[in-house]
Homo-oligomer: A and B are copies of this chain.
Amino acid sequence: MPKDTFFNLPDEKRQRVIDAAIDEFAERSFHEARVTAIAEGAGIAMGSFYQYFEDKKDLFKYIIELIVKEKLAYINQDMMANMQNYGFFQLLREIYSRGLRFAKERPRLLAIGLSLTNNEALYHEVYGDHVQTSDDFFRKLLAKGIADGDLDPTIDPILVARLLTMLNYALADFVYEDGKLDLDDMEIIDKMLNLIENGIKNRAAALGGC
């Protein structure tokens, strides 16, 4: 947790520190990121940095906290409230589309988030035990989908939840590689959803008899 001195800072200066930190952590892993670069980027003295934070990790945890808050704001806004009104695939479409928007609008935040998932030790230190994972969320969604009759009841919710999470990551990945795919965002999402909904098997032959 940053010290009081940090929160007492004028908004503009505090924001400069946050921005500089996001820049550095987005470019380099936690271990590679340099406190000196952050201080310089924010236009503060090295000594000041340690007036504001215990150490580098203290700042990093704070930044992660901000990212989580912001991401949840993107995903959650009103959606959970109206959850009952939508079918499974509508909800999934909404989740993916909001996740993609977050990735496009805050690519540096996305990069930091991804870098954290690649560092297990740090990940646990940041989140402790109460890891409200993306998996948990999808599991609940799947349970509801099965209960509502939208989904094949024989699927394994734990496995599928993980797969949906991974596909969500895949989506974010496309953002980094512009031009790889000549599609607009909703088109990508709809094609992904089509895979999730129907698979990729050729049904034309099989359904001939219907």
Contacts and interface: CB of A to CB of B under 8 A. Distances in A.
Copies in the complex: 2
Interface residues of A, number: 45
Contacts of A210: 210
Contacts of A196: 195, 199-200
Interface string A161-175: 011001101100110
Interface SS of chain A: helix, strand, loop or mixed?
Answer: helix
Contacts of A173: 162, 166
Interface stretch (A38-46, A59-67, A69-77, A146-154): A146-154
A133 to B, nearest CB: 11
A81 interface: no
A130 interface: no
Interface stretch (A13-21, A98-106, A201-209): A201-209
A95 interface: no
Interface of A: 29, 31-32, 89, 114-115, 118-119, 149-153, 155-156, 158-160, 162-163, 166-167, 169-170, 173-174, 180-181, 183, 188, 191-192, 194-205, 210
